[in-house]
Structure 1
């Protein structure tokens, strides 16, 4: 089935993406700026942070990965907008991932700005959490999913990755669905869109005709929908519901956290739904043809853009956890997929 293409609006961003360079800082309107922040050692390469100027308030959406270079890029972008770091009054992260929330703690310490997350977003490990317990549970889960013993250390969480999670900022504010971000002169409406993370949010700015979509809707790739413990019981079902919520019109400009800006939310949502339904159908075909015994066995028979053998470390983890989310979703639709999975445990809000 051929679906209508989206409409490119971020031409300079797409050109930079294709040339594998950092895109420019751009003024998108009198009160809106796009500032790229480097995401080192990752195929996504950068996070697009958005600065919105209100009546004495300045809010930054998704400040990006924490690094000295990233802070320099942010500060330079703010200077182009006529601001210094201390002029920031608020920071909103669309979700609790290091390439979105990572810089928030450093910025809050430097500026005094408040930090906000969605009301349902969770953190996997708090600063006072038991890292050894998290690592042990993670390895047990991956073993149950069939990850071979000789690949376990490569795929599993480690103390270094958990330290990054522990150092992420706790929010000062929780934003409820349908509420407005508390900033004078701005009308940023919160839409809770779980799927990519348990409490991901998008921000709708009707006066500027923009939707800040975080990782919920991207122009080129399908956001990763993972089964994680602790976490929601059926993240792919959550994602489908969230896509329906955000596809309320097709003309507003979509400002994602990666890649480039575009319009055509309804068209892109239709593409993402079709992609995930095709993936679920492929899982069912693998079950019928190969009779796999584990999630790992299913994953290694699926189609991957660069081939299964190319997947390593974190990319391999993402592939397996994405496969697990499709298994859970198909089971919820009464398909008999007999591979071992434990029941997801709720995570604790902080």
Structure 2
């Protein structure tokens, strides 16, 4: 049975499962408008996820064919995965920030093996051992790249413009660009009185940017053809501060549960990342590669119990923190092939 929550004021959420993922589910939000229901995110492209979404909509006396539009907070497959299938059934539009639309377009137009080639080279440069690289090479050689999620994700047909109201008849939903988790992540501010009259400024659909109990993954923005030295963690921290100043009465995130005191949660996350950066500086008393740093960082389980794919994600997160430390002048690169980093 789909788990559906009525948040009041014509807003509901449906728990759509994510297969084989500790997050468990994506909270797909449905917002009533004068032109029909609009979804904020859609869930993973999987038969069980689709069936759950259909069942949840049915419990709200609507169906996929009734969907008027989809507003996607970011391109990840647990948010954008079912958008194409919903559009096929309903003819609904799909809106996304241009930076993430470009990621979708680039992924669709690239050869399936391009991503694994890039990832293998990047991990090798980060100091990954051969036993970690070998499965990636084997997957590329076997053609298993065609099963990677997101290869055929739907291309959005509307652009979310930061600062502007979305075209939702009878609602005031304003886009706030919050890069960090992805380059085009957006939060969506429902500029309407809270239905329970909670103090604050409306409600915030926060996607993965602001979650009540976990910190979202902040890794490097991945574009094999772009040599720009980005700072995703710096982007995320700046975005957090903007959201903290918004003063939303309630946050409706894409995972876990709705919560209040957004500014308090923002402070917790800012403190968390400052503590983490300080801890990494202590680790960097001697030069370390990004892989060696990731091995020594504190995760939700010991390094030896982290699965292969999650280790690649952990290294990307270590690299994002290194980028931040270098930009702040608190660490520098040393050596070549693979590069090591040391505190200064």
Q: Normalising by structure 1, what TM-score? A: 0.86
1:222 is the counterpart of 2:215: yes
Map 1:252-331 onto structure 2 (within 5 A).
252-288=249-285, 291-331=286-326
Map 1:144-293 onto structure 2 (within 5 A).
144-154=125-135, 159-160=144-145, 163-207=148-192, 208=194, 209-230=202-223, 233-288=230-285, 291-293=286-288
User: How many residue pairs get matched?
Assistant: 320
Deviations 1:122-173 (A, max 9, x none): 4164322123333222211100001101012457886447742221111000
Q: Find the aligned partners of 1:162 and 1:181 in 2 and give their Cα distance.
A: 34
Name the residue aligned to 1:42.
21
Deviations 1:300-340 (A, max 9, x none): 11222211221112221121110000000000011233256
SS of the equivalent of 1:35 reads strand
| Counterpart contact for 1:57–1:183, Cα < 8 Å | no
The list of structure 1 runs, each at least 4 consecutive aligned residues, that deviate by more than 3 angstroms after superposition, is: 153-163, 339-343
1:61 is the counterpart of 2:45: no
Name the residue aligned to 1:347.
none
| Counterpart contact for 2:2–2:16, Cα < 8 Å | no
Q: How has the CA–CA distance of structure 1 residues 342 and 287 changed in structure 2, closer, same or farther, with 3 Å as cutoff?
A: closer
Deviations 1:25-80 (A, max 9, x none): 01111411111101010000100000000112211011100122212211121122
Name the residue aligned to 2:103.
123
Name the residue aligned to 2:342.
none
SS of the equivalent of 1:50 reads strand
| Counterpart contact for 1:250–1:267, Cα < 8 Å | no
Q: Normalising by structure 2, what TM-score? A: 0.87
Q: Find the aligned partners of 1:148 and 1:81 in 2 and give their Cα distance.
A: 51
32-41 or 65-74, larger mean C-alpha shift: 65-74
Greater RCO structure (CA 8 Å; 6+ sep): 1
Q: How has the CA–CA distance of structure 1 residues 175 and 251 changed in structure 2, closer, same or farther, with 3 Å as cutoff?
A: closer
Name the residue aligned to 1:14.
none
| Counterpart contact for 1:141–1:342, Cα < 8 Å | no
SS of the equivalent of 1:191 reads strand
Q: What root-mean-square deviation, in Å, do the aligned CA atoms of Structure 1 and Structure 2 show?
A: 2.2
Q: Find the aligned partners of 1:248 and 1:50 in 2 and give their Cα distance.
A: 24
Q: Find the aligned partners of 2:271 and 2:215 in 1 and give their Cα distance.
A: 11
Q: Find the aligned partners of 1:155 and 1:269 in 2 and give their Cα distance.
A: 37
| Counterpart contact for 2:183–2:221, Cα < 8 Å | no
1:109 is the counterpart of 2:88: yes
Structure 2 residues not aligned, in runs of 5+: 195-201, 340-344
Q: How has the CA–CA distance of structure 1 residues 203 and 144 changed in structure 2, closer, same or farther, with 3 Å as cutoff?
A: same
